[in-house]
Amino acid sequence: MLVDLISVNNADGIRLDGAFFAPSIDTEPTGPVDAILLFHGSRGNFSEPNTRTMAEDLRQMGYACLALNTTAHDTVWNDAATGLNYGNAYEILDETRGDINAGVDYLWDAGYRRIALLGHSMGAVRVAYYAATQADRRVAAVIPISPVRLSYAYYMSSGDSQEFSDLIRRAQELEAAGNGRELFDAHFPIKQLFSATSYLDKHGPEERYNLINLAPKIEIPMFVVGGSLETHTRLLNMAKDLADAAVNSPLAGYVIIDGGEHSIANKKKESSTTVLRWLASLTAQPAKV
């Protein structure tokens, strides 16, 4: 697997590392999309297996692929230039729009004109959120794989409501005391380290990133992939619900891969094949600038 290691800066000057997978010279992509920008999930980075395997499979079929870090890569990392800490533990999800825009800029400047966004897990939330909130006409399609349901109301009505309510209260107390960047261990909806501010940003009652509410704003083709073994509260029925809610997309669909675990990590080849089949089904449209 030969790739070009690259880096771009987002609008805040933060360097984002990534890998460019040049398309196979022997194959032309089927369908109108010519490049795909891929994003990792929580605590991940551009080199995680799901991302790099998908990128390699797609580039073998003629699609240029860029796997790119977000500012929220890994759990915590320190920017030597500023001394500030970043990472998934501190993520304000809305800010990752700037990271996605930087990746789209890179592919556009390289000459690609029909760019698709693809993300796994929290990366799926990021790309769907971008598609719903950014009128970026360079983006031709969005492919969320195993998107996460970020809904305060849904969690509060679930069997996990007591644990979730306790975590929300703890984060609110920390933030009220002026300790919003203090880290704590959360066990719901995912076991990981969060700052109080980050936990409330993703899971608070404002529901900023409830994709079911945002989906009607998506006006490009969208294809959601889920796995039949994704039964956790944050994942249950999410692929279908997201596709069904995208009522203004010209082509919104979903596939549930039988036996697929979260991010379809145990069936990577089947996941790639499913995405390739959908890309080939798209109808060509003129690029908009």
pLDDT at residue 286 greater than cutoff 50: no
d(CA 240, CA 84): 39
Taking only the tens place, the pLDDT of each residue in 95-146 is 999 999 999 999 999 999 999 999 999 999 999 999 999 999 999 999 999 9
pLDDT of residue 24: 92
CB-based burial, 34-51: b 16+ in 10 Å, e otherwise: bbbbbbbbbbbbbbbebb
pTM: predicted TM-score of the whole model, two decimal places: 0.96
Calculate mean pLDDT across residues 210-231: 99
d(CA 144, CA 239): 8
Average pLDDT over all residues of the chain: 96
pLDDT at residue 190 greater than cutoff 60: yes
- Report which DSSP code applies to 23: P
Banded model confidence at residue 283, pLDDT cuts 50, 70, 90: confident
pLDDT of residue 81: 86
Domain ranges of the chain: 4-150+209-281, 151-207
pLDDT of residue 284: 59
- Do the beta carbons of residue 1 and residue 59 sit within 8 Å? no
pLDDT of residue 131: 99
Taking only the tens place, the pLDDT of each residue in 150-185 is 999 999 999 999 999 999 999 999 999 999 999 999
Q: Which option is the CATH number for 4-150+209-281: 3.40.50.10860, 1.20.120.420, 3.40.50.1820, 3.30.450.20?
A: 3.40.50.1820
pLDDT of residue 289: 42
pLDDT at residue 23 greater than cutoff 50: yes
Taking only the tens place, the pLDDT of each residue in 251-261 is 999 999 999 99
pLDDT at residue 221 greater than cutoff 60: yes
Amino acid at 115: I
